Amino acid sequence: GHRGTTENIKEVFEGRCWDYDVTRYLPDLPRVDTGCETLWKLFFKAFSYQPPCAVALENYQPYLEEAAQALPKDKVLFWSSVFSLAHQYGDYGQRYVTLEDTLVGYLANSITWCGQSIEPGYNVTRCPAWDDCPLEAAESFWAGASKTFAQRAKGEVSLMLDGSNPEKPAYRRNSFFGKFELPNLTKDVTRVSVIVSHVLDKPKVEVCGEGSLLLLEADVKERGFSYVCKDDPLVVLHLLCASDPNSRECQLVVNHARGQ
């Protein structure tokens, strides 16, 4: 299989960059001094004229360092498998900051790119499918981006996991969080606060204190951080109920509000 390359990728990248600079996350994240043309050049340099499947994580380092922002203390949010809920919960930088809220993640999110050795140095139409390459270009990008994001986290960091998937444990050591984020948290981090979210009205496959959350607790404490875990905090329940107000669990929430 293959994926289609994002059309006008240079214009998309640079346009997003200028837009971010003047309109996005102004109260929550600092501006990056480097201009958008320079950031594009550094990003392009990382994968251009390389074979589509052979981009080492290090190639993105110059770009990742140039585009990095200081992250607000106690507001970094990591996630596994719950992309959409995590971004609702983070409320786009107001409650928490996810990788996509930072310039590095914002510019790369949902675009597709890959290199080729002949002019113009990247494949204008198509890229390998995710599993066609051992280290597919975009995969190594997110590895580098996740690592740099984790290295700049401070204070209490949050992690949202999915406790409703019978096929996939909530915490996996081979997830991006397990491979590139947890191992790169520094001494500036004090605590990992885990939120296990569950699909409404479905069996709770994993909850705090059980299954892979026990492994996570051990891995977090082994790194010297304190650990707390909560199943479906009220904010998350309300977000889930907003999308599914008629679910049984949400009726309970409404009755509770009515004091019944």
Ligand X SMILES: Nc1nc2c(c(=O)[nH]1)N1CN2[C@@H]2O[C@H](COP(=O)(O)OP(=O)(O)OC[C@H]3O[C@@H]1[C@H](O)[C@@H]3O)[C@@H](O)[C@H]2O
102/250 with CB nearer ligand X: 102
Q: Is 106 in the site for ligand X (CB under 6 A)?
A: no
Sorted by sequence, the CB contacts under 8 Å of residue 26 that are 6+ apart come out as: none
In angstroms, what is the minimal distance from the CB of 201 to ligand X? 23
Q: Is 136 in the site for ligand X (CB under 6 A)?
A: no
Taking alpha carbons only, the member of 113, 208, 205 closest to residue 159 is 208
Q: Looking at 177, 208, 236, 241, which residue binds ligand X (CB under 6 A)?
A: 177
Place of tokens 């082994």: 222
| Piece of 10-18, 138-146, 216-224, 243-251 that binds ligand X (CB under 6 A) | 138-146
Q: Is 43 in the site for ligand X (CB under 6 A)?
A: no
105/163 with CB nearer ligand X: 105
Strand partners, 226: 191
40/78 with CB nearer ligand X: 78
In angstroms, what is the minimal distance from the CB of 33 to ligand X? 23
Q: Is 13 in the site for ligand X (CB under 6 A)?
A: no
Q: Is 175 in the site for ligand X (CB under 6 A)?
A: yes
CA distances to 4, 7, 213 from 160, in Å: 30, 33, 12
Q: Is 100 in the site for ligand X (CB under 6 A)?
A: yes
Task: Please list the active-site residues.
Answer: 100, 176, 181
Strand 189-197 relative to strand 155-162, pairing: parallel
Say how many C-beta atoms besides its own lie within 10 A of residue 32's C-beta. 18
144 vs 152: CA distance, rounded Å? 13
Q: Is 171 in the site for ligand X (CB under 6 A)?
A: no
Q: Looking at 59, 80, 148, 164, which residue binds ligand X (CB under 6 A)?
A: 80
CA distances to 19, 109, 192 from 12, in Å: 10, 11, 35
- Strand, coil or helix: 132: helix
59/175 with CB nearer ligand X: 175
Q: Looking at 176, 208, 212, 236, which residue binds ligand X (CB under 6 A)?
A: 176
Q: How many residues bind ligand X (CB under 6 A)?
A: 16
- Burial class of residue 157 in the structure, from the number of CB atoms within 10 Å of its CB (0-12 exposed, 13-18 middle, 19+ buried): buried
Which residues contact ligand X by CB under 6 A? 78-81, 99-100, 105, 109, 139, 142, 146, 149, 175-177, 181
